[in-house]
């Protein structure tokens, strides 16, 4: 199973699932399935989502559980 940050990335931008679904051209319920982890995005959809959010793929999807964005940002700052 693949972990993703779609929900945070989406809500951070103040978008509804419908908004995001239209942007990447899938059914709005598909976004719900991904956010709930009911199934994984296809590689193509993953690319489209990462491109839409303007983040590298591995910032939106991962084989391993994510830290929160805040944790990761704090860790990065500490590393400077």
Query: Site residues (CB under 7 A) for DNA?
Result: 11, 16-18, 21, 25-30, 32-36, 38-42, 44-45
Q: How far apart are CA 27 and CA 39, in angstroms?
A: 14
Residue 3's beta-bridge partner residues? 62
> Which one of residues 54, 63, 78, 80 is an interface residue with a copy of itself (CB under 8 A)?
63
**CA dihedral angle for residue 20, residue 13, residue 48, residue 24, rounded to 10 degrees:** 20
**Which does residue 61 touch among DNA, a copy of itself, none (CB within 5 to 8 A, set by kind)?**
a copy of itself
Q: If binding is defined by CB under 8 A, does position 25 make contact with a copy of itself?
A: no
The least distance separating a copy of itself from the CB of residue 56, rounded to whole angstroms, comes to 7
User: Would you state the structure tokens that stand for residue 26, as one six-digit string?
Assistant: 């899938």
Nearer to a copy of itself, 32 or 40 (CB): 40
């Amino acid at each position: 199973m693949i972990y993703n940050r779609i929900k945070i990335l989406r809500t951070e931008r103040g978008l509804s699932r419908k908004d995001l679904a239209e942007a990447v051209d899938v059914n709005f319920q598909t976004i719900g399935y991904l956010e709930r982890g009911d199934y994984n995005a296809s590689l193509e959809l993953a690319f489209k989502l990462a491109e839409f959010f303007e983040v590298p793929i591995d910032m939106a999807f991962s084989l391993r559980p994510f830290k929160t964005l805040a944790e990761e940002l704090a860790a990065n700052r500490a590393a400077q």
